[in-house]
Structure 1
Amino acid sequence: MSFTLDPTTAITDPHGITWGMHPITWRNDDIPEVGAFNTLEDMLLDLADTGYRGTECAGFFPPKEEVKAASEARGIKIVAQWFSSFIVRDGIETVIPDFEATCSHLEYLGATRVVVSEQTGSVQGKRDVCIFTNKPTLTDEEWDLLADGLNRLGDIAHAHGLELVYHHHLGTVVQTKAETIRLMEATDPAKVSLLFDTGHAYVGDGDVMGLLQACIDRIKHVHFKDVRPERMAESRAANRSFLDSFLAGMFTVPGDGTIDFTEPYRFLVDHGYDGWILVEAEQDPAIANPLEYARKARAYIESALLKA
């Protein structure tokens, strides 16, 4: 095992893209007992051993001083962190203090992105609500509130050296291609960018490339997540929630599901994208061993994408 990332054997992309892996592979914040046996150190050792150069913050992480020391010791970059905003429900003035604290935390860790998702009315964390037939929506007035609030958060993020990247997400007010495009059109491109997630695009609309092509000029962060269509169909038929769907195996790492990542990867490269791509898959680590799936994803990345 490699205890510190070796740059000479890490994933090296000829187009300047940097590859990392999201901590949700090791532990889940929405269901704390899922992966509770994994620690920050477990994750960092696996990342160093498999050659991923970075990751994002998670709720199970220890205090920032410990995170900084541990990640630097292993040679792993902290890239970003999720922030749940309630701009529509609570008002932007209520949201700002927590957002400021998150940005300060990320600045200390040397991150470059803050991932924002509007959680007003969200059903993504409700286990008694079917993710395929229920989602919140916004009125025209609420769309304006959200856009104006995100623009203000974008200014705050920039003051901390961060880009605000909005995460379109199942079960939220910005889930579909149409909703994501509307948000991008309503916000200032100098202040609000997009996190493009293949898994949410596929499950939400069945269309990965449509959203990518429509929003390519706003994308500053990427998650590559695959989908097992048979498990998705089972979850849809069973009216499962988002959480129960992923526990049933709906998501997996690239190369283990149905999405052909060669097309979105090539499109990103052809349009000059040279930021981070993080491998991500909400799974139960007791069933899907994180180290095994990290290796599986790397093998696919190098054989199907980097050599294509």
Structure 2
Amino acid sequence: MPIRLGANPIGWSNDDLQHIGGKTPLETCLREAKEAGFEGMELGHKFPREPEALKAALAPFGMACVSGWYSAELLTRDADAEMRSLRPHLDLLKAMGSTVLVFAETSNAIHGDRSKPLSARPVMAAGAWAKFGRRLTEVADRTLAEGVRVVYHHHMGTIVESEADIDALMTATGPSVHLLLDTGHATWGGADPAALARRYRSRISHVHAKDVRRPVMEKARAQGWSFLDAVLGEGAELGVYTVPGDGMVDYVSVFRELLGYSGWVVVEAEQDPEKANPLEYAKRGVAHLRAALAEAGLS
């Protein structure tokens, strides 16, 4: 399919801290996403998890179901056990016509714990990647046989955060495992998202577009903030993440490395909606992405 722009509802209602944007109705999120120019939505905690109810929620706004996050525990269970846990989510995505499954290992992750600085995040022992990669590949083989591709979400505060982690993951896994390139997590994790796009072009099947406010990122590093504290920002200040065009990521360079890409580019810029108006920022993100895609020759 051609490139389509989608949104993650985390700019309206946070999933890790559900009181952030907690009073915002799902219908407001969908209406404003449509107004901003998005064609589809990823799932969040306010979405129905039964196919007919989800279709009924999305239909008035002409929104497709792009995908949805899945928290895996492959470090502690085998592929059979993971598939049993995954089954309801996988069946929902299949029923909605989604072709990618956002997958991240979270059994020892700290991104949802405000008491832990990111410096305390888990690090995989070098000898453990092979076993993890085999399990992940088996899961990905099985979901792909059902028409849904696993796209692995590298993420701050997890075992796949840095460029070295991403390289180790991709080396340890088979061709059924593809990468979700997240420009914001890559940048904050110390990687160049354009370089990652170039290196793994043939195995990138999903893109999350969020920008990074460099001063907040540097302050978070220097002061040992948790992931969520950095996302929310200190006091009245804005947080580390924002929409494309409002930070340090060069999207034209990223998209030039993705020539031929087809699929979704999803704005997943978690912010406190009390500080950053979701509709205003969504419109800014869409405008910047459309311009960057055109300049890179992808539109």
- TM-score w.r.t. the length of structure 2 is 0.92
| 1:289 aligned onto 2:286 | no
- In structure 2, the gaps of 5 or more residues are 234-238
Q: Which amino acid aligns with 1:255?
A: G
Aligned-partner SS, 2:255: helix
Cα offset, 1:303, TM superposition:
3.5
Q: What corresponds to 1:5 in structure 2?
A: none
Alignment CA distance shift 1:304-1:151 (3 Å):
closer
Cα offset, 1:304, TM superposition:
4.0
Which residue, 163, 169, 173 being the options, matches 1:187?
A: 173
Cα offset, 1:246, TM superposition:
0.4
Aligned residues: 290
Post-superposition Cα deviations, 1:22-78, rounded to whole Å, max 9, x if no partner, equal 111111111110111122211111121121111111122124232211212211110
Q: Is the 8 A contact 2:68 2:102 kept in 1?
A: yes
Q: How does 1:192-211 map to 2 (within 5 A)?
A: 192-211=177-196
Separation (CA, whole Å) in 1 of partners of 2:215 and 2:129: 35
Cα-Cα RMSD: 1.7
Post-superposition Cα deviations, 1:241-274, rounded to whole Å, max 9, x if no partner, equal 00110001100000111112110012112xx111
Q: Is the 8 A contact 1:47 1:76 kept in 2?
A: no
Aligned-partner SS, 1:194: strand
Aligned-partner SS, 1:83: strand
Q: Is the 8 A contact 1:123 1:129 kept in 2?
A: yes
- In structure 1, the gaps of 5 or more residues are 1-14
Aligned-partner SS, 1:126: coil
Q: Is the 8 A contact 2:163 2:191 kept in 1?
A: no
Separation (CA, whole Å) in 1 of partners of 2:200 and 2:145: 25
Cα offset, 1:159, TM superposition:
3.5
| 1:98 aligned onto 2:85 | yes
Cα offset, 1:180, TM superposition:
0.9
Q: Which amino acid aligns with 1:69?
A: A
| 1:30 aligned onto 2:16 | yes
Percent identical among aligned pairs is 39
Q: Is the 8 A contact 1:88 1:142 kept in 2?
A: no
Cα offset, 1:150, TM superposition:
1.0
- TM-score w.r.t. the length of structure 1 is 0.89
Cα offset, 1:208, TM superposition:
2.1
Q: Is the 8 A contact 1:104 1:160 kept in 2?
A: no
Q: How does 1:110-121 map to 2 (within 5 A)?
A: 110-121=97-108
Q: Which amino acid aligns with 1:95?
A: E
Runs in 1 of length 4+ with deviation above 4 angstroms? none
Aligned-partner SS, 2:266: strand
Which residue, 57, 60, 70 being the options, matches 1:73?
A: 60
